[in-house]
Amino acid sequence: MRVVSGIQPTGNLHLGNYLGAIVQWVAMQDAHPGECLFFLADLHAITVRNDPAVLSSNVRELTAALIASGIDPDRSILFNQTRVPQHSELAWLLMCTARIGWLNRMTQFKEKSGKDREGASIGLFGYPVLQAADVLLYQATHVPVGEDQKQHLELARDIATKFNLDTGTETFTLPEPMIGTIAPRVMSLRDGSSKMSKSDPSDMSRINLMDDDDLIAQKFRKARTDAEPLPGEAAGLADRPEAANLVGIYAAMSGISRDQVCAEFAGKGFGAFKPALADLAVAKLSPIRSRFAELMQDVPAIDRILEDGAARARALAAPTLATAQQALGLHG
């Protein structure tokens, strides 16, 4: 078993990242210590415009936030992509395997490039190929991600299959996506049809793990909802995306089902539900925030963790890259 997953240092960790990905990462690490690699995807972050000063401090802050959330750098390998050059080297080899038609079908590129598709970077278009390299480099068997990454993971499997077939080798293991069941897709607090994202320009659209108690309460209070009371069971949320999202967040954070949440609040309005949701989030997130503040007191220690993680990752990455080069007839 080999578990690999990453997160972009494009902003603060939010509740979607936490419930959709990080909770699963921690569970995998605890069940399979020594077999997990988690990385800060700084090479992915530069596919869109980024302020260099902000990016470098984001890498440290996100590292501290992951540790505060339960990632233990002794039991998992924690590192940033740039320090393991094999990610970029393998990505190039895979660029020559992936087909333009396959990438044209990727919905994230369409969303992120928006109206100016011709003006998007080649990196944003090729993003899923680098992502394939990220996991294939370590012969990942399991990749815990949110639902939005499912399509990219399927592409990684297609790339691995074609590479193995074209070269008549067994160079790459096919990775299995692990889409969590707790909260695979947390939606924006401002719009029930788009997912909560770090890169959403509206800070009110997301709960950041580092938001203080008052801000968390304010964001939930202002979250978009409808005027109906909560239904007695989750089936009653079918055409109510914003209400369904808040109920889903409550369920994920309290470890009970959406039906149980509905039963508890049946007939009550959001005036009663939102403060209960805010209290739950505050109770869950404030210990993470305090631990984060402690860790940020010692930035050199965070840098050492990243350095050590990268050295361990490079040692695992080198043999796969060499095998892939040989399979293509390259003298590496």
CB atoms within 10 A of CB 296: 17
Rounded to whole angstroms, the Cα distance separating 83 from 66 reads: 18
DSSP annotation string for 18-81: IIIIIHHHHHHHHHSTTSEEEEE-HHHHTTS---HHHHHHHHHHHHHHHHHTT--TTTEEEEEG
* Binding positions for ligand ATP, 213-252, rule CB under 6 A: none
16 appears as a binding residue in the annotation? yes
For residue 87, state whether it binds ligand ATP (rule: CB under 6 A): no
10 near ligand ATP (CB under 6 A): yes
Catalytic option among 110, 112, 115, 268 = 112
291 is a site residue for ligand ATP (CB under 6 A): no
Structure tokens at 211: 């938001």
Residue 162 is among the residues annotated as catalytic for this protein: no
Kindly determine how many residues on this chain lie close enough to bind ligand ATP according to the rule CB under 6 A.
20
Considering only residues 136 through 155, tell me which ones interact with ligand ATP, judged by CB under 6 A.
145-146, 148-149
Instruction: State the DSSP string of 79-145.
Output: EEGGG-THHHHHHHHHHTTS-HHHHHT-HHHHHHHTT-GGGS-HHHHHHHHHHHHHHHTTT-SEEEE
- Residue 175-214 contact track with ligand ATP, rule CB under 6 A, x = bound: --------xxxx--------xxxxx---------------
Q: Tell me if 186 is assigned to a ligand binding site.
A: yes
Name the catalytic one among 115, 195, 274, 284: 195
Interacting residues with ligand ATP (CB under 6 A): 7-8, 10, 16-17, 20-21, 145-146, 148-149, 183-186, 195-199
Q: Catalytic site residues?
A: 112, 195, 198
Per the annotation, binding residues are: 8-10, 16-17, 134, 146-148, 186, 195-199
